[in-house]
């Protein structure tokens, strides 16, 4: 028993030490550089495949014709809007509990790009709605809750901009981000709870895909690509914040 | 070829969605990429 707990302690110790090392900005900076390089090499062929297969190779839909091809940008963007918000809430919560600045930087970078994905999901959804539903917008449960999600992202970023003291801005914004997580399951389940106009999930479970594989593979590729792009963009931003802080200490923040 | 672009009448909707996504995602990749280049250059100059 004692031996077991010793192994556990030393394993946890190794993991903790390795993690603690990368929580230091300089180390995280070089780690980001490497991750950005590796993920860029992976994401490039994945996006090319997803685009070609989605736009040209997948057969057109029986009901929606070629209009359904909007799915390959709309669904990944919508998935990311929720995925990134979940990350934002986790980073913010971690920052509130442990006050590690890196998590606040990760949270802010996530919010910036998460808002963009949410905006893309709403706009492409609207453009998809016009030929299929005959309207650009309707106050359907899915659309309304997704719009609230965009306001949560913008609210978080607005709080950070409007409060002059950086530390209190970070604390208040993080608190709001954690509370806003309530909206994530509402967006996700809205199509089941209130069945109005928005169609149900196409892939809600990897073992229960509701479309032909020639349609599904490009969609999976595009979702994966968007996830990788989110990680790349977030690290690009975090890397800049680390350098900016360095320049600020040298009184050169205005240079970039 | 024309049919690939026209997409049986859905072309305007499909291509505008892909275009908006490409512009927004592309901008969000390129902007921090160039900011980083600039910052590295400034740091190199003072060292």
Q: Give the model's pLDDT for residue A191.
A: 82
- Helix axis angle for A101-133 and A213-249, nearest 10°, is 140
Burial of residue A244, with CB atoms counted within 10 A of its CB: 0-12 exposed, 13-18 middle, 19 or more buried: middle
Question: For residue B1, which residues of chain A lie inside 8 Å, CB to CB?
Answer: none
Given phi > 0 = left and psi -120 to 50 = alpha, else beta, which region is A134? left
Q: Give the model's pLDDT for residue A70.
A: 95
Name the residue of chain A whose CA is nearest to B43's CA.
Answer: A247
Q: Give the model's pLDDT for residue A12.
A: 78
Contact between A127 and B13 using a beta-carbon 8 Å cutoff = yes
Q: Give the model's pLDDT for residue A238.
A: 96
Contact between A67 and B13 using a beta-carbon 8 Å cutoff = yes
Structure tokens at A69: 């091809």
CA A252, CA A71: separation in Å to the nearest integer? 45
CA A222, CA B13: separation in Å to the nearest integer? 19
Question: For residue A74, which residues of chain B lie inside 8 Å, CB to CB?
Answer: 17
Query: Looking at the predicted structure, is the pLDDT value of residue B41 above 80?
Result: yes
DSSP string, chain B: -HHHHHGGGTHHHHHHHHHHHHHHHHHHHHHHHHHHHHHHHHHHHH-
pLDDT (tens, 9 = 90+) of chain A, 256 residues, equals 566 777 777 887 888 787 888 888 889 999 999 999 999 999 999 999 999 999 999 888 888 888 899 999 999 999 999 999 999 999 999 999 999 999 999 999 999 999 999 999 999 999 999 999 889 999 988 999 999 999 999 999 999 999 999 899 999 999 999 999 999 999 999 887 876 778 777 766 666 667 778 889 999 999 999 999 999 999 999 999 999 998 888 877 676 6
Of A65, A229, A252, which is closest to B10 when you measure between CB atoms? A65
pTM here is 0.91
Of A130, A237, A256, which is closest to B39 when you measure between CB atoms? A256
Place of tokens 């990897």: A206
Question: For residue A127, which residues of chain B lie inside 8 Å, CB to CB?
Answer: 13, 16-17, 20
């Amino acid at each position: 028993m004692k031996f077991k707990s010793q192994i556990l302690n030393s394993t946890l110790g190794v993991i903790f030490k390795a993690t603690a090392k990368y929580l230091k900005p300089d180390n995280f900076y070089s780690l980001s550089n490497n991750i950005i390089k590796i993920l860029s090499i992976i994401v490039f062929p994945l996006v090319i495949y997803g685009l070609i297969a989605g736009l040209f190779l997948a057969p057109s839909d029986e009901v929606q014709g070629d209009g359904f091809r909007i799915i390959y940008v709309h669904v990944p963007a919508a998935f990311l809007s929720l995925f990134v918000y979940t990350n934002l809430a986790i980073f913010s919560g971690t920052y509130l509990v442990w006050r590690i600045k890196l998590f606040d930087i990760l949270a802010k970078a996530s919010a910036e790009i998460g808002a963009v994905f949410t905006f893309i999901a709403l706009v492409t959804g609207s453009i998809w709605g016009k030929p299929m539903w005959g309207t650009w917008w309707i106050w359907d449960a899915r659309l309304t809750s997704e719009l609230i999600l965009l306001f949560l992202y913008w609210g978080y970023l607005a709080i950070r901009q409007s409060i002059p003291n950086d530390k209190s801005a970070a604390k208040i914004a993080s608190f709001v981000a954690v509370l806003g997580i309530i909206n994530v399951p509402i967006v996700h389940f809205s199509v089941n709870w209130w069945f109005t106009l928005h169609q149900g999930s196409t892939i809600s479970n990897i073992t229960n895909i509701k479309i032909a594989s020639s349609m599904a593979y490009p969609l999976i590729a595009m979702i994966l690509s968007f996830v990788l792009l989110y990680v790349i963009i977030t690290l690009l931003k975090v890397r800049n914040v680390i350098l900016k802080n360095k320049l600020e200490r040298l009184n050169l923040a205005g240079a970039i | 070829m024309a049919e690939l672009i026209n997409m049986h009448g859905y072309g305007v909707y499909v291509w505008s969605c892909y275009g908006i996504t490409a512009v927004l995602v592309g901008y969000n990749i390129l902007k921090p990429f160039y900011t980083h280049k600039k910052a590295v250059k400034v740091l190199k100059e003072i060292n």
